[in-house]
Structure 1
Amino acid sequence: MAGKASTAVALLAGALCCVQAQFDFTLRPIIGILSQHPSDSILEGLEDKNYTSYIAASYVKHFESAGARVVPILINQDDAYYENLAKHLNGFVFPGGASSITSSSGYGAAGAKIYQLVREANLRGVYLPLWGTCLGFEMLTYLAAGEKKWLASCNASNKADRLNVSADYMDSRIFTQMPDNVIGFVRLMDTTANYHKWCMTPENFTLSGLADEFKLLATSYDFDDLEYVALMEHVALPIFGSQFHPEKNQFEWKDDSKHDAIPHSPQAVGVAQYFANFFANQARQNNQKFPTEEEETAALIYNYEPFFTQETSGFVQVYLFR
Structure 2
Amino acid sequence: MYCIKQYFGLLCLLLFTVNGLPFPNGNKWQEPTLNNRPIIGILAQDTSSALGRTYISATYVKFLEQAGARVVPIRGGQPEEYYIRMVNWTNGALIPGGVVNFATSLLGRSARLVYDAALKLNRNQDYFPIWGTCMGFQLLCYLVQGDNLLKRTDSANISWPLTFTPDFKSSRLFGQAPENIIQILSTEPVTQNEHHYSILTKVFETSKLGKFFKKLSVNRDRKGVEFISTVEGKEFPFYGVQWHPEKPNFNWNTHYNTDHGPDAVRVSQYMANFFVNEARKSSHRFPSVKLEATNLIENYNRTFSSDDTFVDIYYIDPRDT
Question: Shared fold (TM-score greater than 0.5)?
Answer: yes
State yes or no: 1:263 paired with 2:262. no
Per-residue deviation, 1:309? 3.0
Letter of the structure 2 residue corresponding to residue 275 of structure 1: M
Deviation track 1:198-244 (CA, whole Å, cap 9, x = no partner) reads 10011000121211121000011212121110000001110000000
Per-residue deviation, 1:310? 5.9
State yes or no: 1:25 paired with 2:39. no
Distance 1:15 1:300 in 2: 35
Q: Which residue pairs with 1:129 in the alignment?
A: 129
Deviation track 1:55-112 (CA, whole Å, cap 9, x = no partner) reads 000000000000000001111111011010011100000000011122x110101111
Mapped contact 1:157–1:195 kept (Cα < 8 A): yes
Q: Which residue pairs with 1:116 in the alignment?
A: 116
Distance 1:262 1:16 in 2: 44
CA RMSD of aligned residues (A): 1.5
Please give the residue correspondences for 1:192-207 in structure 2 after superposition, counting only pairs within 5 Å. Answer: 192-207=191-206
Deviation track 1:252-306 (CA, whole Å, cap 9, x = no partner) reads 11113xx1x1111100010011100000000000011001000000000111232
Give the 4+ runs in structure 1 shifted more than 6 A: none
Q: Secondary structure at the match of 1:170?
A: helix
Distance 2:113 2:71 in 1: 19
Deviation track 1:100-133 (CA, whole Å, cap 9, x = no partner) reads 122x110101111111011100001100000000
Closer, same or farther: CA 208–268 of 1 in aligned 2, 3 Å: same
Distance 2:43 2:74 in 1: 5
Q: Which residue pairs with 2:7 in the alignment?
A: none
Please give the residue correspondences for 1:192-271 in structure 2 after superposition, counting only pairs within 5 Å. Answer: 192-256=191-255, 259=256, 261-271=257-267
Please give the residue correspondences for 1:119-198 in structure 2 after superposition, counting only pairs within 5 Å. Answer: 119-145=119-145, 147-198=146-197
Letter of the structure 2 residue corresponding to residue 51 of structure 1: G
Q: Which residue pairs with 2:16 in the alignment?
A: none
Scaled by the length of structure 2, the TM-score of the pair is 0.89
Deviation track 1:119-170 (CA, whole Å, cap 9, x = no partner) reads 100001100000000000001111111x211111111111011100002210
Per-residue deviation, 1:15? 4.8
For the pair shown, which has the larger CA radius of gyration, 1 or 2?
A: 2
Scaled by the length of structure 1, the TM-score of the pair is 0.88
State yes or no: 1:289 paired with 2:285. yes
Mapped contact 1:15–1:124 kept (Cα < 8 A): no
Ranges in structure 2 where 5+ consecutive residues have no aligned partner: 1-22
Mapped contact 2:302–2:312 kept (Cα < 8 A): yes
Distance 1:55 1:14 in 2: 33
Q: Which residue pairs with 2:300 in the alignment?
A: 304
Mapped contact 1:55–1:318 kept (Cα < 8 A): yes
Mapped contact 1:310–1:317 kept (Cα < 8 A): no
> In percent, how many aligned pairs have the same letter?
36
Closer, same or farther: CA 317–167 of 1 in aligned 2, 3 Å: same
Distance 1:65 1:15 in 2: 35
Q: Secondary structure at the match of 1:112?
A: helix
Letter of the structure 1 residue corresponding to residue 25 of structure 2: G
Distance 2:232 2:55 in 1: 27
Distance 2:65 2:149 in 1: 33
Distance 2:79 2:287 in 1: 20
State yes or no: 1:37 paired with 2:46. yes
Q: Which residue pairs with 1:3 in the alignment?
A: none
Q: How many residues get paired?
A: 295
Per-residue deviation, 1:315? 5.8
Distance 2:41 2:102 in 1: 18
Mapped contact 2:42–2:71 kept (Cα < 8 A): yes
Q: Which residue pairs with 1:74 in the alignment?
A: 75
